[in-house]
Amino acid sequence: MRMILLTLLALVFSFVDGFAQERLDAKDRIAAIVNDDVITLSELQQKAATFMPQLNAQYKGEELQRQTDQLRYKLLVSMIEQRLQLQQAAEMRLTVSEREVDSSVQDMRKRRGAAPASAPTVSERKAARDQLLLGRVYQHKIRNTLLIPDATLREYYDAHHEEFTLAGEVSISQIMLSVSGSGNLEKARLRSDHVLKEIEKGRSFEELAKDYSDGPEAKNGGSLGIMTRGSLLPQIEEIVDHLGPGEIGPVVESPVGFHIIRVDEKKPAGLRPYEEAKNFIENKLLREQSEDVYQEWMNELKDNAFIEILL
């Protein structure tokens, strides 16, 4: 019965394509048939419109037309796959609540920077519902079927230590006396010597940073936060290498001025523990596996579907 219906649909749409579509506005034409569903040209054009400004800016003439045709085809294939997935969701009787749809619409508006106050439009609700259903059917057909044994995760970790090697980290604070902020090089040097003497007298490093430092970190008491090896000026990194936590180095000159550095915390280079890397490895392997399983699923859906592209 289903094949008879599809055959009748094919005949009807073939007739429409050959006669009626010539009399309809272009936006009403049918771009593709997917089982007992259709994708209209207006839907395809709406998808393509997002990318057209970029294509128009990059290409001209025949090349623009070629790129546009390629874009339309790729988008149409993607839309066909989505229709097949939504049809699968319907067959599985998957549903989403109205509250979920409303919440999804508001999230979509926030991402676009649109006002969330007005009531959702019909098209917004449809787009939100479709996305929720696509996520739900993917979860059922793909994600829930995948399981990575712990032994596989451990094996990956042992074979890819280079991915989990941590660079040495250091948390530092500085008081920076710039040449421009001091008037000239000699004044900057004198200011830095004065500040260092104040530190030696017992004054708070944070307090002196707020009073004297010309760097943007002054308002935070001089804290530069966590830095990795290679991210510091060579002159500063050399001093940091010889300081332990809580220690303050001598005045260091750099192209921008003079620095007084305090090391707050040091973490040596090493290997990230397996327990910390486990979730990252699992997500990576799941992504790789899901791509293969997804492609198999899509091939199966297409093999068992009636699909006709009418462009």
Report the mean per-residue pLDDT for the chain: 87
Q: What is the pTM of this model?
A: 0.57
**What pLDDT is stored for residue 98 in this prediction?**
93
**CATH superfamily for domain 2-142:** Porin chaperone SurA, peptide-binding domain (1.10.4030.10)
168-268: CATH topology is Chitinase A; domain 3 (3.10.50)
pLDDT at 299 over 60: yes
Chain segment 30-59, per-residue pLDDT in tens: 999 999 999 999 999 999 999 999 999 999
**What pLDDT is stored for residue 207 in this prediction?**
94
Computed over its alpha carbons, how large is the radius of gyration of the chain? 31
**What pLDDT is stored for residue 117 in this prediction?**
64
**What pLDDT is stored for residue 11 in this prediction?**
39
Establish how many alpha carbons lie within 13 A of residue 43's alpha carbon, considering only the half-sphere containing its beta carbon. Answer: 19
Chain segment 160-193, per-residue pLDDT in tens: 999 998 878 899 999 999 988 777 888 889 999 9
Q: In whole angstroms, what is the distance from residue 250 CA to residue 84 CA?
A: 69
pLDDT at 267 over 90: no
Q: In whole angstroms, what is the distance from residue 263 CA to residue 201 CA?
A: 19
